[in-house]
Structure formats: C-alpha cells, structure tokens
Amino acid sequence: MKQQRPVCMTNCPTLIVMVGLPARGKTYISKKLTRYLNWIGVPTKEFNVGQYRRDLVKKYKSFEFFLPENEEGLKIRRQCALTALNDVQKYLSEENGHVAVFDATNTTRERRETIYKFGEENGYKTFFVESVCVDPEVIAANIVQVKLGSPDYIDCSNDEATEDFMKRIECYKNSYETLDETLDKDLSYIKIMDVGRSYLVNRVMDHIQSRIVYYLMNIHVTPRSIYLCRHGESELNLKGRIGGDPGLSIRGKEFAKVLARFINEQNIKDLKVWTSQMKRTIQTAEALGVPYEQWKVLNEIDAGVCEEMTYEEIQENYPLEFALRDQDKYRYRYPKGESYEDLVQRLEPVIMELERQENVLVICHQAVMRCLLAYFLDKPAEQLPYLKCPLHTVLKLTPVAYGCKVESIFLNIEAVNTHRDKPENVGVNRSREEALMTVPNHL
C-alpha cells in the first residue's frame, strides 16, 4: 500500500530556511528568532549546519574545504545538511516542535528546492529568510564580531582568520542564486537588505509567518544598552504585601535619587525612560528629572483576589491556590488575576519596541522584569518566575554577537528581599510551615 504524504494543515509545523552568503548575519537572525518564538510560547529549535560540520570534521584546515571542486568537502557538507534535516524531521514530527530554523547558506535554487520538497513530504510550511548584504562595512563588522571568535579560527591570528574567511565567501559567490521575485514567486519568504535598510516580503501564508516577518522588521544591530530596574522600595514591600499601588518608602525615595545620579554619570546618548502607570515607578522616574513615558502594559502582574495580601494571608485564606501556584508558577493564574504566561503575551509590544530602540531605561516591577530578562537571556518558562530581580539594583543588558552581556549594579541603598524560591513540598496537603518556608523576611 502506498504511503500517503502528510497533509499540510492550517496549524502544521513551520520550517524556516536561512539563505545567504557567509557573514550576512544568518546565525544572528536564527538565534534571535528562536529566542523570540520560544519566549512567546512557540516551541522552536535552531539547526546550525556549520555546527554539524564542526562535529563531523574536528579540525578545520582552510577555505579550500568549501571550494566547489572539492568533492570530499562537498560530500561532507551534503551529509551534514541531510543529518540536520533528519533531526529537523524528528523535532517537528516526533518531539512536538512547532518551528525549526535550518541555518545554512542554502545559496543555490537546487538546494532550496530539495529543502522545500522535504518540507512538502513531511507536511511542513516552509518559509525562507534571506539576508543580503552589500555594505562592506557591515560585512567587515560581522567578520570581526562573530567569525574571528569561531572555533574554526581558534589557532589563527585575526589577519589570517579574516583572509581565510574572505576566501571562504568567494567560494560561494559564483554559485549564489538570490531569491527572485519572478522565479520564486510561489515561495513564502522575506528578503532583508543590509540588516534592515529595506525588505521584500512574498506570500506570507499564516499567523506564525506574519509574526516572524513583523519581528524581523523590528530588530537592528546598532550597538546599545538596555537598563532594567525595579521601582524603589515601596510601603507595601516593607509590609511583605504583594501588588497594590503604593508609594515609595523612605529608602525607596533615596534609591530614586541615587538612580538619577547613576544614570547621569553614565552619560548615555539619547536615553529613553519608560515606566508603568503605577505610583512607585512614576515616583522613581520623577527623580531623574528627564522626560519619561508611561506604559500600562508595564504594570505589575495582577494578583486578583490576592492583591495587597502577604504570603501568610494567602496561605491562610487560599491554601489550595497557594499550592497550585507553587506547582506551576509560570502558568498558574490568580483568581480574577493574571499568570506569568498572560504577562508575557501582554509584554510582547514592549519587546518589539525595545528591539526597535537604542538606549532605554525601563523602570518596572518584579514579575515584569523577570519576563523581560527571560527574553534577553533566553531563559525557559520554568525558570522565568524564579529569576532574581532584587530591589535597588540596575541590570545593564548589552546585546553581543549571539547573546546578551549582563552587568548587575547594586546602588548601595538597602531594601527588603522580595524573592521567594520554590519550596520543596508543593503538595496541596502540605503544612503551613512547609508552604511558607521560603517566604522572605519582611518588616
């Protein structure tokens, strides 16, 4: 009996295929896209064919490996691509993955047709992302930032590595066939010119592809830093109560003054300041003496019926809810309130705008800061609600080649600890003492 080809349903898996010469930012885009999709709750995995090649060929010798006439090199590269595609198939068809990012040059129409047929045979929607770059300064910067740190060039000087890599690029140029409006009119793709100078988008087929396009049209590579901090210590922080809309404590007001001095000393060009619409963040920003924008979406997580309660009171009045939250803090929703999962969806516009902007200071709240930090540090949903974001501490995030550098700066104003770790016993029949054992001390 003939095996039926899987039908591509409306909600079927998506295969994203990178296209472009080396040093065009494909891996940068792949990693950012994977991080973003995972953060919004779409299970996504990146498959970098270059890494498959490094795993197979332990020692890289020179650009000659990539010469079109190098039959052995061609055979190895083809084998690596097929192995990666097999892993893509396992991830999307057997491991409940939703999106796979196939990161390779894929510079010939023949190679792209092979991958497209692979997608068709497995019931995937295929979306191509091509990065075209003709600006020599951008290419040179990418080589310095990324390729010189590559395992391929671990024993080379910078000059040797640059020379070899430029020759490697030449190996691909003669056979490079860019996505074409006429020849590839039936394919779904986005073509990015000079890291965002202009875009060409063709046949976007569904919601996921729309979100991918929207995201890719918002990211940039301009050097910048994002500063995240919580409001100064509040009156309710002192009492160990969650939520509410209190003002700052005496120490919280002192922190606001010290934060103003710190920001002024940084001499940050064109800094934008964002706050929530809650008193404690607004009072913190007021001390800066600069314009700031209020975002309702930056408001703290809504604790519903538990607003302004202490953890002891929640355990006393809602012991079942308290246990359920400990069992799955990311997905648990307070009665008449929100979950961390809800908060991530609420904060997506903030992430988009942070990607568009350059230097920004975000004065926010503990749960909000955890969500933003999880995006930039690529933390999974299970870890997100337990990320440490102490009061009176500024986190400086500086995007680097394939990730984010983090500096934690405590501004020397004491504050209460509001971090509660997950207790060992999360069962609904646990004792009061077991439920409250990780509650921080408060005044």
* Whether residue 201 sits in one domain with residue 347: no
195 — pLDDT class (breaks 50, 70, 90): confident
Statement to judge: residues 183 and 240 lie in one domain: no
Looking at residue 400, what is its pLDDT? 83
The whole-number pLDDT of residue 10 equals 67
Residue in this structure with the two tokens 């040093």, named with its chain if needed: 23
For the annotated catalytic residues, the residue numbers are: 231, 300
- Give pLDDT tens digits for 114-126: 999 999 999 999 9
What is the number of structural domains in the chain? 2
Q: Are residues 95 and 198 in the same domain?
A: yes
CATH number, domain at 404?
3.40.50.1240
Does a structural domain hold residue 107?
yes
Query: Are residues 371 and 351 part of one domain?
Result: yes
Beta-bridged to residue 272, according to DSSP, are 360
Q: Decide if pLDDT at 352 tops 80.
A: yes
pLDDT at 6: 59
Is 331 contained in some domain?
yes
Confidence of residue 137 (pLDDT cuts 50, 70, 90): confident
364 shares a domain with 239 = yes
Please indicate, yes or no, if residue 300 is contained in any of the structural domains: yes
357 and 299 housed in the same domain: yes
Residues 200, 77 within the same domain:
yes
* Rounded mean pLDDT, 20-37: 95
393 with 295, same domain: the answer is yes
Q: Note the pLDDT of residue 216.
A: 98
The pTM (predicted TM-score) of the whole model is 0.94
Q: In this predicted model, which residue has the larger pLDDT, 151 or 99?
A: 99
- Other C-beta atoms lying within 10 Å of the C-beta of residue 289: 10
Binding residues: 230-237, 280
212 lies in the same domain as 241: no
Assigned domain for 3 exists: no
Q: In terms of residue numbers, what domain contains 255?
A: 226-436
**Same domain, yes or no: 101 and 183:** yes
Q: How far apart are CA 213 and CA 149, in angstroms?
A: 29
| Residue 313, domain member (yes or no) | yes
Tokens coding 211? 């979100």
| 178 pLDDT above the threshold of 70 | yes
Binding site as annotated, residues for substrate? 230-237, 280
- Among left, alpha and beta (phi > 0; psi -120 to 50; other), residue 407 is beta
